[in-house]
Amino acid sequence: MTTVIVERAGTVARITLNRPDKLNAFTEELHQELFAALGEAEAQGARAVLLTGAGRGFCAGQDLNQRKPGEVFDSTATLKRLYNPLIRRIRALPMPVVCAVNGVAAGAGVSLALACDVVLAARSATFLQAFARLGLVPDSGATWMLPRLIGDARARGLALLAEKITAEQALSWGLIWQVHDDDKLMAEASALATRLGDGPTAGYAKIKQAFAASADNTLDQQLDLEAELQGKAAQSADFKEGVAAFLEKRGARFTGR
Ligand code: T3D
């Protein structure tokens, strides 16, 4: 792989987008390699994924060198073939996915970050719904995720005005989980990913399943789903360990099963 770096640290698969000179903008190759890296992480039993970008940017969305005026391309086909499967793949991963937004995230780069479960950002990072600057529509899930995370008014403002917001603003609006000083971001993100990677993996998968379903469910349906998932979680080795650790006043040693 050249546009993506995959490293394993204990239970965590760290995936770094690696086109720093172009702020890690998406090419076909980067799409293919990122998709493959996520599959590899799951196949090799990683219990958490940490996604970040090399250099000063996180991801600047579609590489616009491949959208030059006069060139033939089909954006609907590209979204259906590359972007949408990527967002679905991340959402469907059973293990927690931590995103460390190390610099600017623009266009589908924002959607990529927001598809992850826990998003941390460097204090200097920015978020830009760049689409309207180009006459495009926010994509890769942006029009679904943004109103749910920050409300309709802010989502529409970001999409229509295409103004950059800072990491602090993203945090105060509820778009992301935490902001860290630039030089601390990766240490904080790695520690968080390791904590999740050493956690009750099967239980986390059920938590993700419950949240995924909640967007379309009524409260009644969600109550039923929670009861069903809890029944399974309560049969797990990790629940037994969690209770034993509590009663013995020690830290739990989860195996993920
Ligand atoms: O057809 C379809 O596939 C539809 C799907 C669309 C999905 C999308 O994501 S559409 C949105 C595409 N992205 C953008 O519109 C963002 C474009 N980039 C920017 O607006 C700015 O670069 C940033 C705000 C992200 C960062 O600005 P700044 O000043 O910090 O950096 P810069 O100087 O503009 O960029 C640094 C380099 O990265 C520069 O290359 P150079 O001149 O040094 O060789 C720049 O051209 C390159 N770069 C940044 N973004 C892209 C890019 N190259 C290609 N594509 C990019 N998206």
For residue range 182-226, what is the model confidence (pLDDT) as tens digits?
A: 999 999 999 999 999 999 999 999 999 999 999 999 999 999 999
**CA 61 to ligand 1 center in whole angstroms:** 7
Per-residue model confidence as pLDDT tens digits over 229-245: 999 999 999 999 999 99
- Whose Cα sits closest to atom 1 in ligand 1? 75
Closest ligand 1 atom, residue 164 Cα: 24
**Amino acid identity at 24:** N
The chain-wide mean pLDDT, for the chain, equals 98
DSSP assignment of 170-184 equals HHHHTSSSEEE-GGG
Per-residue model confidence as pLDDT tens digits over 68-80: 999 889 999 999 9
pTM over 0.85: yes
- Which tokens in the block code for residue 240? 């037994």
Closest ligand 1 atom, residue 74 Cα: 1
pLDDT for residue 254:
97
**CA 251 to ligand 1 center in whole angstroms:** 46
- Which tokens in the block code for residue 201? 């993996």
Per-residue model confidence as pLDDT tens digits over 149-166: 999 999 999 999 999 999
Residues having CB within 6 Å of any atom of ligand 1: 22-23, 25, 60-65, 67, 73, 75, 78, 104, 106-108, 128, 130-131, 134, 136, 139
Residue 1 has pLDDT above 90, yes or no: no
Separation CA 240–CA 151 (nearest Å): 39
- Which tokens in the block code for residue 222? 């969600």
Per-residue model confidence as pLDDT tens digits over 28-40: 999 999 999 999 9
Query: CB within 8 A of 48, min separation 6: which ones?
Result: 11, 12, 13, 95, 96, 97, 98, 193, 194, 196, 197, 199
